[in-house]
Amino acid sequence: MTKKASSILDVTTESEILDENAVSAIETDVAQAGITEDTAADKPMAEVTAPAKKKAATRKKAAASGEAKVKKAPAKRSRNTKNDKAENSPNAPVMKAFWGVFNPMMVQVAQYNYADEAEARKTAEDMTEKKKAPHFVQLIKKVM
């Protein structure tokens, strides 16, 4: 036999050993769970598992004796985030809103108070017609 052929046989032998170990592990688990061929064939797997039966029996006993665990409601998380805390602090900067008229190069051409939105839009339309380039209005927030 060549060296290559012997290594193939060794691999096969190792895989057979692994298969035997896996089968014996499964057989051990089945025996511990109390599953026989008769019970496995008659009932679905969910009914056959022993740990599930034990848990259900424990719950029934606890409920019957009045020792049922009382689950607390989860604590409500605060809606305040770091940003909210910074905005609500006494040292938070005061912001004021304006309407800005911008050209296509994103350069601010005019600025209006927040209440004067209609005037800002009219200026943008006039500049669009006059300069032959689309001007637009955008909200600006500045620190005061």
SS3 71: coil
pLDDT at residue 59, as a whole number? 75
pLDDT at residue 116, as a whole number? 96
DSSP string, 82-94: HHHHHHHSTTPPP
pLDDT at 49 over 90: no
Angle in degrees, CA 134, 142, 96, rounded to 5: 105
pLDDT at residue 74, as a whole number? 73
Q: Is the dihedral of CA 121, 127, 129, 132 positive or negative?
A: negative
Q: Are 51 and 68 a contacting pair, CB within 8 Å?
A: no
What does the mean pLDDT of the chain come to? 75
CA distance 49 to 35: 8
DSSP string, 31-70: HHHT--HHHHHHS-HHHH-HHHHHHHHHHHHHHHHT-PPP
Q: Which letter does DSSP use for residue 107 in this model?
A: -
**Overall average pLDDT of the 54-69 stretch:** 69
**Overall average pLDDT of the 34-58 stretch:** 63
pLDDT tier, 82 (very low <50, low <70, confident <90, very high otherwise): low
pLDDT digits (tens, 9 = 90+) for 99-117: 999 999 999 999 999 999 9
**Overall average pLDDT of the 51-79 stretch:** 68
Of 108, 99, 103, 100, which is closest to residue 127 (Cα–Cα)?
103
Considering only residues 115 and 84, tell me which one the structure prediction assigns the higher pLDDT: 115
Report the first-to-last Cα separation within the chain, whole angstroms: 90
Kindly list the domain boundaries of the chain, sorted by start residue: 3-65, 89-143
**Overall average pLDDT of the 118-139 stretch:** 95
